[in-house]
Structure 1
């Protein structure tokens, strides 16, 4: 674990030398800390879809109502994340980190005592607001601590979130199945621990801002040639579309595939959650390795491979038996999520200096559209059946072929340097 390198600046006569952080150094202690909080945040957020089978049976909900809950948490997060990111780009605010986790704490406290459907919706809105406040500033902290290893840093940050998502089915088995919704009270302890870690990170963040070194770096990185702006806009729209497709597919697995397993293989809620855990846990592994692989082989190439290589396996999944369903889910999760962090770094290359806005756009708006997908899927499932919906969704990764309409990594670098239109 590296120690943050410091450089001296020349002080006025009679004063002690001032020190500034070396912006090329990778600050692993901060990356690990923000990844840990990401694990806390996303494990809490992900227990919402994990407990859908419990909510459906205990409150006698329809698939459409389940889709509305998924839409509520994702849409709340998606609308607010770009707003928080835009605000933080103009005025970086370290205090947003513990404040965001405070919203999450409130949401889980409300969930523990929710007895009606509207109360559940209110609780998930608070959890969504907490996620919206955390992700843009968390991504900025990761960028600030990355040094020269941006792909690796973003992977460390994102793997915490995906690991947290993978824990949700297990936590459902251990906590919600025996305790019901009141089990949410235990997640207030997790949120409180997250607040404590966020205070530590916010202090480091504030100190980095006060040195002025990051502000200087950010200002220099904002330069972009006007003649390439229309091509950049096209690229970001296409990237959001690709992330939306990937999110819609992963949402179909994490939100509804447990119902598919229960209906077709007569599994219990607990047994079905094991298969969702395989998908998400393998996804966390893929997220970690995706960043370093993208640093080596290219970000656009990694985004393309993560969808196209998964496509044939996704098409096979609805026709597999129970054993091969588990195997395919693990492999698909490993491949699909390998570009999870890469898309954020790629978007940051498209808009240098707008770390919060871009991160909020990709992790917020685009993934929130996955929540809209869950709403549509829930409605479809009520109209047709869960098997047909899973078969239709299996073709989504094929749209990854659109990735090659994105500019290459080399072209992005030339745009940023102002050497090519």
Structure 2
């Protein structure tokens, strides 16, 4: 990794930290917004899904545009757009203005991720997996700290002073504009003819689908745990501060796992890391939700490390399959996969009502982990030094398509 690449990666990781810090600021403010705007429970319920949908499900569109037209505009100005609209949520004087503000903030969040991930991968050079781990764990760290930061600000200055946080977005976009060069168009290999996304996808679609569904299962497990764990801890008598601290610990451990896996994946194959981490999460989740008190938090934190260890790694593996479409692939793995994974908690809600949050997590988290292990078993045992092999397959597919 060159010195310029290190600076670019550091700035993009900082941008990811700030962007995801913004993305989680809405959650502790929902009760205050409900009181201020006199919202019903149903109205409050729809805010988070719409916010998540605008941030996640539209990412493939942003990635597609990024790969073809704008080479850095989304990554540079995404945090600014996010900061402007998130900072205005305390000023919203109606439900519809609040909803529009959150959707626009979600667009800023979603626009940053695919291009930011592609630029981080490019800046990392031959150490793509390490670079993606740093980039991903920075976002997880920001997401875990966002609720605390906005709670401190609003608690001291009031909800109507939420616009103070816009400073972070302005500063971040200025730094990204100065230090992050645009993505370069990847050169063609082997004299291949003009390519299309469908032609390149033909060579690697099976492995890409496996990685996609592994990410859906892993992200769904993380979101399910984050949603249901507070209810379990509340039943055990934990205070609001204690529940918040436990969630922060879980998310920080997910980020720690993401960072540590980058170094591990440079020595072992991505398949090996994915398999091992999936297997080890099973007993850790069983221990977490079969125990009481501090043991629950200890096991959940340990499971978070194992769970997070492949989130960034699988994104890097997907980028290696389609190296000339890194923004589109990043959007698929980071945004669309997480958007689909976010559907798991509401789908499991009837089971939680029929049984309990603890029983759902006790059976669902190991089951989801085992399903991910099964899919990972069919991944190619491909090390970092072999990542150029798919490109040859891609070129062969292009030449075949040209001859048809």
TM over 0.5: yes
Cα distance between partner residues in 2 of 1:375 and 1:67: 11
Count of residues paired in the alignment: 388
Residue 416 of structure 1 pairs with residue 391 of structure 2: yes
Provide closer, same or farther for how the CA distance between residues 231 and 218 of structure 1 changes in structure 2, counting only shifts above 3 A.
closer
2:319 corresponds, among 348, 356, 370, to: 348
* Residue pairs, 1:354-373, within 5 angstroms: 354-373=325-344
For residues 379 and 44 of structure 1, what CA distance do their matches in structure 2 show?
31
Cα distance in 2 between the residues matched to 1:182 and 1:382: 37
Deviation string, structure 1 residues 154-182 (Cα, Å, up to 9, x no partner): 11211211111221343355345666754
**DSSP-derived class of the 1:297 partner:** coil
1:3-14 to 2 correspondences below 5 Å: 3-4=3-4
Aligned to 2:188: 219
- Look up the SS of the partner of 2:267 in the other structure: helix
Shift in CA distance, 196/242, structure 1 to aligned 2, threshold 3 Å: same
Contact 2:84 / 2:169 at 8 angstroms: preserved in 1?
no
Shift in CA distance, 38/382, structure 1 to aligned 2, threshold 3 Å: same
The question of 1:87 aligning with 2:68 is answered: no
- 2:181 equivalent among 188, 201, 205: 205
User: How big is the shift at 1:121?
Assistant: 3.3
| Residue 74, structure 1, aligned to residue 62, structure 2 | no
Give yes or no for the alignment of 1:165 onto 2:128.
Answer: no
Q: Deviations over 1:193-244 (max 9, x none)?
A: 222222224xx414xx6xxxx33x44339969x9995562122222211111
What is the aligned-residue RMSD (CA, Å)? Answer: 3.2
Going from structure 1 to structure 2, the CA distance change for 1:50 and 1:304 (only over 3 Å counts) comes to farther
- Classify 1:97/1:307 alpha carbon distance in 2 versus 1 (closer, same or farther; 3 Å): same
Matching of residue 100 in structure 1 with residue 78 in structure 2: yes
Q: Which residue of 2 aligns with 1:403?
A: 376
Contact 2:28 2:151 in 1 (8 A): no
For residues 210 and 350 of structure 2, the distance between their equivalents in structure 1, rounded to whole angstroms, comes to: 26
Residues 228 and 165 of structure 1, relative CA distance in 2, 3 Å threshold: closer
Per the TM alignment, residue 295 of structure 1 is displaced from its structure 2 partner at its CA by 1.5
2:131 maps to: 153
Q: Measure the CA separation in 2 of the matches of 1:141 and 1:172.
A: 29
- Structure 2 residue aligned with 1:302: 273
- For residues 104-127 of structure 1, the C-alpha deviation after alignment (integer angstroms, 9 at most, x for no partner) is 123213311246554443333222
CA contact (8 A) 1:317 1:394 kept: no
Question: Comparing 251-260 with 331-340, which one deviates more in the overlay?
Answer: 251-260
Deviates more, 1:362-371 or 1:381-390: 381-390
Decide whether aligned partners of structure 1 residues 367 and 174 sit closer, same or farther in structure 2, where only a CA change above 3 A counts: same
